[in-house]
Amino acid sequence: MEMKVDPGLSPFRNFTREEWAALRADTPQPLRDDEIARLQGLNDRLHIAEVVEIYLPLSRLLSIYVGAEQRLYRQMQKFLGPEEGGKMPYIIGVAGSVAVGKSTTSRVLQALLARWPNTPKVSLVTTDGFLLPNAVLEREGLMSRKGFPESYDVPTLLRFLTDVKAGRRPVRGPVYSHFNYDVMPNETVEVDQPDILIVEGLNVLQTSRPPKDGKGIPFVSDFFDFKIYIDADEAILERWYVERFMRLRETAFRDPKAYFHRYSGITDEEADATAKSIWRSINLVNLRENILPTRQRADLILHKGGDHEVEAVALRKL
């Protein structure tokens, strides 16, 4: 991770794991071992030390940010007068590559933040639900670009975030099934005026070139109050992706109804080659072209090592 920048030029303050862990102070660890086990992803190893040393300091930091935002919102209501709609939620964006552990980080933060007294209601959504349906992707020749920015129904996602940020209730979004590898028709996820909304996705920090006429075009990240990027080296990400593919081949892929059932009967060598081919032709391209360039737009960067543990943290200076 290119975090070694001239301190006089970098907008980030860098922390070693030990320095970051010390910021936990006296924050209690509220999660039980069985809760931690449920929160970890398929190929993500989440230990109690990771919760204590990385996520408790982060939840403490976010609680400070949220509390300050809530106080500012109340003062603005006094200044401008009450707005229509309900309370305005604090929105956290979590970005990073396929297989880096975004879902695990998001679930852990949801569980920890819900324990703070000023944020009892914390919701979580993934942008997978806002992918265009497979039928549309196939018609547009985009199936091999699934997960790239052009494969999302961005207008629907922007409307969803607009309604959530405006305090409307309830707000419903689409649901994605990794088993079916498609958006599920007639299924929705409901967000009902949370104190915090965590939005997890590959490209949530991406922007495009501003229009020359100066007209406003909202980006997904415009709705975020705090942005997190989870980082790891390319070689490590490829290994994690292949390991996850091999585990799915022995589990979910074995179901004849699974979209990727065809991979359950191939040999180990064929599976390894297939996973590496998918990674290098699709996910690595997306990482280099669209995801990694957004890293510096984050407020916080968590850099992981090969054992899935965070080795370094970069926090944007105020």
Residue range 102-154, pLDDT digits in tens: 999 999 999 999 998 877 899 999 999 999 999 999 999 999 999 999 999 99
Average pLDDT over residues 263-267: 92
Cβ-count burial 3-31 (b if 16+ within 10 Å, e if not): eeeeeeeeebebbebeebbebbeebeeeb
Torsions phi, psi for 228 (to 5 deg): -120, 135
Q: What is the dihedral of CA 23, 291, 110, 61, to 10 degrees?
A: 20
The more confidently predicted of residues 217 and 139 is 139
The answer to whether residue 266 scores a pLDDT higher than 50 is yes
Please give the average per-residue pLDDT across 178-198, as a whole number.
94
| 78 confidence band (pLDDT: 50, 70, 90) | confident
Phi and psi torsions of 28, nearest 5°: -70, 150
Give the residue carrying structure tokens 């303050």: 13
Side by side, the strands of the sheet bearing 226-231 are 12-16, 310-316, 300-304, 226-231, 90-96, 196-200, 122-126
Q: What is the pLDDT of residue 57?
A: 96
- Cα–Cα distance between 281 and 244 in angstroms, integer? 17
| Mean pLDDT estimate for the chain | 91
State the Cα–Cα distance between residues 69 and 63, nearest whole angstrom.
10
Is 316:299 a contact under the CB 8 Å cutoff?
yes
Answer whether residue 4 shows pLDDT above 60. no
Of the pLDDT bands very low, low, confident and very high (cuts 50, 70, 90), residue 1 is very low
Q: Which residues contact 158 (CB under 8 A, 6 or more apart)?
A: 218, 220
Q: β-pairing, 196-200 with 182-191?
A: unpaired
**Per-residue model confidence (pLDDT) at position 257:** 93
Q: Which residues pair with 182 in a beta bridge?
A: 177
Q: Which architecture characterizes domain 12-205+216-316 according to CATH?
A: 3-Layer(aba) Sandwich (3.40)
**Extents of the domains making up the chain:** 12-205+216-316
Reported as type and span, the H/E element at residue 242 is helix 234-250
Give me the pLDDT at residue 44, please.
74
CA distance 140 to 59: 42
Residue 175 β-bridge partners: 184
- Give the burial string for 87-125 (b: 16+ CB within 10 Å, else e): bbbbbbbbbbbbbbbbbbbbbbbbbbbbbbeebeebbbb
Crossing angle between the packed helical segments 56-80 and 102-113, to the nearest 10 degrees = 60
Rounded to 5°, the CA angle 109-110-116 comes to 90
Rounded Cα–Cα distance for residues 280 and 307 (Å)? 21
Beta carbons of 183 and 174 less than 8 angstroms apart: yes
Mean pLDDT value of segment 273-283 = 97
What amino acid occupies position 231? D
How much of the chain exceeds pLDDT 90, in percent?
74
**H or E stretch at 93:** strand 90-96
- Side-chain-side CA neighbours of residue 273 (13 Å): 5
Q: Is the confidence at residue 187, as pLDDT, over 80?
A: yes
Count CB neighbours of 146 within 10 A: 18
More confident residue, 76 or 284: 284
What mean pLDDT comes out for the span 25-31?
A: 87
Cβ atoms of 154 and 50 closer than 8 Å: no
**Which two structure tokens, joined as six digits, stand for 22?**
């010390």
